[in-house]
Structures are given as structure tokens and as C-alpha cells.
A and B are shown apart, each in its own frame.
Chain A
Amino acid sequence: MVKVRSFSYSLLQLVAFCGLFWLCNLAVAALHIPIPGSVFGLGILVLLLGVGIVPERAVKAGSAVLLGELLLFFIPPVVSVLKYRALLQADGLVIVACVVLGTLMALVGTALVVDRIYTLEKRMNDKRDQQRHLHDDHHVGEGV
């Protein structure tokens, strides 16, 4: 019974996400907003969650389903590789090489940069936390 209820709850939220997507597509077209309806909708929902108009539990289950099964939604276009059989036979190896090398470059490049920045930001955060603690201790001292 609980399972049935949580299933229908998720389904309802799923329908709500589809409705929001549809509305956002209309809005983007009508207002000539230069970004896709889906990304516009993402921004709107973050905003609605942020100001508390939409409570988290109203979208949590539906979001978990959509993001958990994301792979299922783009499996069909991947089957289109069959359309590109000639391309893949001729250039498949080159394409694979590009993907491997490109991914390696992007991974290592991003990791190296973030490595430095994160160390810096963590040190800044720790310092701030430490100062706040000192400050708090000071107040406690005054109270006594």
C-alpha cells in the first residue's frame, strides 16, 4: 500500500515536471528568451525552491526518478550508430582516439587547476572558521 502510494506520488511529480517543461517552452518562445526551455525551467525551479514557494518534498521523488533513469532517455539516440556505420568503419579508430585523448586532457587539465584553487579556498575557509571561533570564545568569556 505504501509502495503504491509512493509510486503514484512519484508519477504525479513526473507529470508535473513534464507540465513545467511544456510551460517553459511556451514562455521561452513567447518572450524570445535565447536559452532552451529546459534550462530556463531549471533556473525557475531553483528560484521557486530557493524562495520556498515550492517545497523540496513536492519535487524530490520525481527528480530522483528522472535523474536516476537519465541513461534510459538517451539510449535510443545511441542506437543511431547504425545510421553511421560507414562513418564508423572508416573513421572509428580516429574518433575513439580523439575521445580518449580529449577526455584525458579535459580530466587532467581541470583537476590540475581545481587542485590549486581548492587548496587556496579551503585555507581561506579554515581561516574564517577559526576567526569566527575565536570571536565566539571571546563573547562566551565576556558573559562569564
Chain B
Amino acid sequence: MSDTLLACLSFAATVGFYLLAKLAYRHKKVFWLSPMVAVPVALVAFVMLLHIPLPDYFRYTNLLVLMLGPATIAFAVPIYQQRETIRRFPLTLMVGVATGVVMGLLSSWLLVQIFPMPDVAARSMLTRSVSTPFAMQVTEQFGGVPDLTAMLVLMTGVVGMLICEPAFRLARIRTSLAKGAALGAASHGAGTAKAHEIGREEGVIASLTMIFTGIAMVIGAPLFASLV
């Protein structure tokens, strides 16, 4: 097969699998059908089975990745829409964001000291708790690489969704709003989706905390990177 054909096929498969998984998950809400699990698994299998060279896979799918920039700007709209919540809970949000950034960086930093791993993985690990567009943007400042970071961010989202309920029960978290903030701060998009299941206000707090944590990570990156 020609390279161009493989590249086109890769693009079609990426979008196709994504739409399919989205549709399937809407009908049957099981964990392994959720797009964030099913699509990467299916695509990795697809690329391996057809022996598609990675440069060919990325030739056109890279256009999708470029959309992360405009998507970052799009976060302005929920911030504007939820300005009432910001006005009502400025302290909760600020403390949630600050704790989220510090805990995200500190937990990763501590753990890679305990569990030795190759430097590139350890450094890509640092920004894994913030939403992908922000994490991929800043990871190089910490010595990480964007693609490995994207994978770790996705893993963090999945893990956060799976462990949040027992974790909150164990830690005796009383207010559901704290659960929302923690999900947004520690587990970004997936956590925010989960928070929306808990309740409307929790979802709003989660999405605001997620966005502000991402922004804080980007703006603070030069400082944080000089510390680690």
C-alpha cells in the first residue's frame, strides 16, 4: 500500500473508531466501551496489525492534534458562563487550584524518587494531572515529551475515575463540592465528567478547577520547572 493511502486510512480509522466508541458508549455505559479506553486500544491494535509506520499514522492525524490550541481558547466560554460560581466561591476555587497544582507536581515528583524509571518518563510524569492541551504545552519545560505526557494524562484520567469513590469514602470527604474540586484538579476531563454525574454544582466546580489548574500550571511552569 502507498504511504498516502496508509495516512488517509489512519485518519479515517482515528475519527471512525472515535465516533463508533462514542455511539456505543451512549447505548451501553460500560467502562471498556468508553472512548478514552476503547479508542486508544483499538487504534494501537489497528496500527500494529496493518504495520503502519508511525510517521504515516501521524501525517494527517496531526491535524487533529493542532486543534488542541483552539480548544484551549474554547475554555473561555465555560469560564464566562460559570462566572456566578466564581463570584460565589472564589476562596474554594483558589485553594482547590493551588492545592491541585502542588499535589499534582509533588506526588509525581516524590513517587519517581521512590520508584526509579527512565528520566524521560519521570519528567513526562510531572504534568500528568492537568488537562491534555495544557500538559502537552508545558511538559517540555519540565524535560518531558508531549506524546508520552498525553498517554500519562489519559491514564491519570482513567485511574481517577476508577478510584475516586473508594478514595473519598476512605478519606471521609464530607462535602460533595470538595469531591468535585478534587476530581477537576487531580483527574481533569475524565474527573470532570465523573463530577457531573455527582451533581450540577460539583460538575461546575470540577470544570472550573480543571481549567484554572491547567492555566496555573502553564503560567507557573518556568518557576516549577526550576524547582524540580
Partners in one complex: yes
Q: Which of B44, B83, B103, B174 contacts A110 (CB 8 A)?
A: B103
Q: Which of A72, A82, A84 contacts B15 (CB 8 A)?
A: A72
Q: Which residues of chain B have C-beta atoms less than 8 A from A111's C-beta?
A: 167-168, 171, 173, 178-179, 181-182
Q: Quick one: given A99-B156, A103-B160, are A115 and B112 in contact (CB under 8 Å)?
A: no
Q: Which residues of chain A have C-beta atoms less than 8 A from B167's C-beta?
A: 104, 107-108, 111
Are A39 and B72 closer than 8 Å at their CB atoms?
yes
Q: Which residues of chain B have C-beta atoms less than 8 A from A35's C-beta?
A: 218-219
Least distance between A117 CB and chain B CB atoms (Å): 5
Residue of B at shortest CB range from A108? B171
Q: Which of A64, A69, A102, A107 contacts B164 (CB 8 A)?
A: A107
Residue of B at shortest CB range from A65? B74
B38-71 interface mask toward A, CB cutoff 8 Å, 1 = contact, 0 = none?
0110011001100000100110011011011111
A20 CB–B CB distance under 8 Å:
yes
Q: Which of B111, B118, B171, B182 contacts A101 (CB 8 A)?
A: B111
Q: Which residues of chain B have C-beta atoms less than 8 A from A125's C-beta?
A: 88-89
Are A114 and B154 closer than 8 Å at their CB atoms?
no
B2 CB–A CB distance under 8 Å:
no
Interface residues on B, range: 35 or more
Q: Quick one: given A71-B35, A82-B47, are A39 and B77 in contact (CB under 8 Å)?
A: no
Q: Which of A39, A115, A121 contacts B173 (CB 8 A)?
A: A115
Are B187 and A38 closer than 8 Å at their CB atoms?
no
Q: DSSP class of B's interface residues: helix, strand, loop or mixed?
A: helix
Are A78 and B77 closer than 8 Å at their CB atoms?
no
Q: Quick one: given A66-B74, A71-B35, A99-B128, are A76 and B96 in contact (CB under 8 Å)?
A: no
Least distance between B172 CB and chain A CB atoms (Å): 9
B1 CB–A CB distance under 8 Å:
no
Q: Which residues of chain B have C-beta atoms less than 8 A from A117's C-beta?
A: 91-92, 95-96
Are B182 and A114 closer than 8 Å at their CB atoms?
yes
Q: Quick one: given A46-B79, A74-B136, A98-B112, are A114 and B181 in contact (CB under 8 Å)?
A: yes
Are A75 and B64 closer than 8 Å at their CB atoms?
yes
Are B132 and A49 closer than 8 Å at their CB atoms?
no
Q: Which residues of chain B have C-beta atoms less than 8 A from A113's C-beta?
A: 95-96, 99
B141-162 interface mask toward A, CB cutoff 8 Å, 1 = contact, 0 = none?
0000011101111111001100
Question: In chain B between 9 and 33, which residues have their CB closer than 8 angstroms to a CB of chain A?
Answer: 14-15, 18
A8 CB–B CB distance under 8 Å:
no
A98-138 interface mask toward B, CB cutoff 8 Å, 1 = contact, 0 = none?
11111111111111111101111100010000000000000
* Chain A residues engaging chain B, CB cutoff 8 angstroms: 14, 17-18, 20-21, 24-25, 34-39, 41-46, 49-50, 56, 59-60, 62-64, 66-67, 69-84, 87, 91, 94-115, 117-121, 125
What are some 5 contacts across the A-B interface (CB < 8 A)?
A: A75-B39, A75-B64, A81-B44, A107-B182, A114-B182
